[in-house]
């Protein structure tokens, strides 16, 4: 039977999970051993490396994460190095990955490991889970891979896989669906290789059981209820999508008579906390992007700026909104007032000094357009 959708009503109840010791485990582990991708965080039981990789990959594709992971380890080879680093250095190392609260939580967690656990990463699942920025999935992944604990690690990939294995017809985000999947995975965990099994499930979801399932390539399709029922293409069932709002902003690279750029460091709390930014802000109704950037610069610096031209338009997609950033190259129209540096903390910085300062991704892209990397 192929994976094409069958007509008719879906099953009202999820199929039973494969029992412990089922061939599903053996077949999946055999497949994983043959095809697993050689990522630098695999083949190690070092909890620090596993932890960093899992946090880093939460919002990053694995192939892209390799470069960031390798660079991070060069800069912070162990937990002590992160704990002793300044927040600005940690943010700079994280630049390009977004969601900077993850980097701040890594630093806070490293400090806690040094202070409360003598520098040794905790082994117990509940202690791992208590670290800042660590949730159920990350704790299960670290506990199983680093310490061989029989803890499931259920991420979006695993939810998708087991929505098909169990042929769950309820929305996967519904109350109880994740609990059902978690318990099904827990029941299958082999005592001698829980970490390998968790990684194999994630790999299956990434390579085979994706949004468009490749059932013909699946090593465990014989034990997949959705494959048998012809509903694999319809699983997982998604809930209603919330409307995403559009947020349009501007930013200006403002140069003074010496060719220095105007930047400032944001306060320690709120959006982009502790990072550096270019002057700019929201576009008001009826206002063009060029008018908006001129208004924001005049308000920030107390003097008008000449808008020379648009550098780029940077687009971002987030869970609940879409953002468009219009970037402009600007020059101060009144050179005599270029040294304003008051409580707003605007600084004039040479282009060569900007690379070491952490900027939001959109602002960094604008700087890179001018070759300031």
* pLDDT tens string 245-258: 788 999 999 998 88
- Tell me if 70 sits within 8 A of 32, measured CB to CB: no
For 31-45, 269-283, 324-338, which range has the lowest pLDDT when averaged over its residues? 324-338
pLDDT surpasses 70 at 7: no
The answer, as to whether pTM is greater than 0.85, is no
CA distance linking residue 82 with residue 109, whole number of Å:
9
The pLDDT of residue 163 is 96
Q: Look up residue 69 and give its two tokens.
A: 């992971």
Candidates 203, 159, 200, 202; CA nearest to 183 is 159
% of the chain with per-residue pLDDT over 70: 90
Residue 272 banded pLDDT, cuts 50, 70, 90? confident
Q: What pLDDT sits at residue 318? A: 63
Q: Work out the average pLDDT over 270-292.
A: 89
CA atoms within 13 A on the CB side of 251: 25
Instruction: Give per-residue pLDDT as tens, 289-343.
Output: 999 999 999 888 888 889 999 999 998 776 567 889 999 999 987 654 444 444 4
pLDDT at 3 over 50: no
pLDDT of residue 312: 93
**Residue with structure tokens 């060069």?**
74
From 54, 151, 196, 203, active-site residue: 54
Lowest mean pLDDT among 205-209, 317-321, 362-366: 317-321
194-207 and 23-35 helices cross at what angle (nearest 10)?
Answer: 70
> Worst-scoring range by mean pLDDT, 34-43, 44-53, 166-175?
166-175
| Mean pLDDT to the nearest integer, 63-82 | 95
CA distance linking residue 323 with residue 79, whole number of Å: 35
Structural domains of the chain, ranges and CATH numbers in brackets: 23-234 (1.10.340.30), 245-369 (3.90.79.10)
54 is catalytic: yes
Instruction: Give residue 63's pLDDT.
Output: 83
DSSP at 60: S
- pLDDT higher at 273 or 281: 281
pLDDT at 202 over 60: yes
């Amino acid at each position: 039977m192929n994976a094409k959708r069958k007509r008719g009503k879906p099953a009202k109840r999820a199929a039973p999970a494969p029992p412990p010791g089922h061939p599903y485990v053996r077949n999946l582990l055999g497949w994983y051993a043959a095809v697993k991708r050689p990522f630098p965080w695999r083949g190690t039981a070092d909890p620090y490396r596993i932890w960093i990789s899992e946090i880093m990959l939460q919002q990053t594709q694995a192939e892209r994460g390799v470069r960031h992971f390798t660079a991070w380890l060069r800069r912070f080879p162990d937990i002590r190095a992160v704990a002793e680093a300044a927040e600005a250095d940690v943010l700079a190392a994280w630049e390009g990955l977004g969601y900077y609260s993850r980097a701040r939580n890594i630093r806070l967690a490293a400090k806690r490991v040094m202070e409360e656990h003598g520098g040794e990463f905790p082994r117990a699942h509940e202690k791992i889970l208590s670290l800042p920025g660590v949730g159920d999935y990350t704790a299960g992944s670290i506990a199983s891979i680093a310490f061989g604990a029989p803890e499931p690690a259920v991420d979006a990939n695993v939810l998708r896989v087991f929505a098909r294995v169990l042929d769950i017809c309820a929305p996967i985000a519904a109350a109880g669906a994740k609990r059902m999947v978690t318990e099904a995975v827990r029941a299958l965990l082999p005592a001698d290789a829980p970490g390998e099994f968790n990684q194999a499930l994630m790999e299956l979801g990434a390579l085979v059981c994706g949004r468009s399932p490749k059932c013909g390539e699946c090593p465990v399709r014989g034990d997949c209820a959705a494959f048998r029922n012809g509903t694999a293409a319809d699983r997982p069932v998604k809930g209603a999508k919330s409307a995403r709002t559009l947020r349009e902003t501007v930013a200006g690279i403002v140069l003074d008579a010496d060719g220095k750029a105007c930047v400032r460091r944001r306060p320690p709390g709120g959006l982009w906390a502790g990072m550096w930014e270019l002057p700019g802000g929201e576009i008001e109704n009826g206002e063009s992007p060029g008018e908006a950037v001129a208004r924001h610069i005049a308000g920030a610096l107390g003097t008008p700026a000449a808008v020379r031209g648009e550098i780029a338009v940077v687009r971002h997609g987030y869970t609940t909104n879409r953002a468009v950033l219009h970037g402009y190259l600007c020059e101060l129209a009144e050179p005599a007032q270029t040294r304003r540096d008051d409580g707003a903390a605007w600084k004039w910085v040479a282009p060569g000094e900007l690379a070491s300062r952490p900027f939001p991704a959109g602002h960094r892209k604008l700087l890179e357009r001018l070759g300031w990397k």
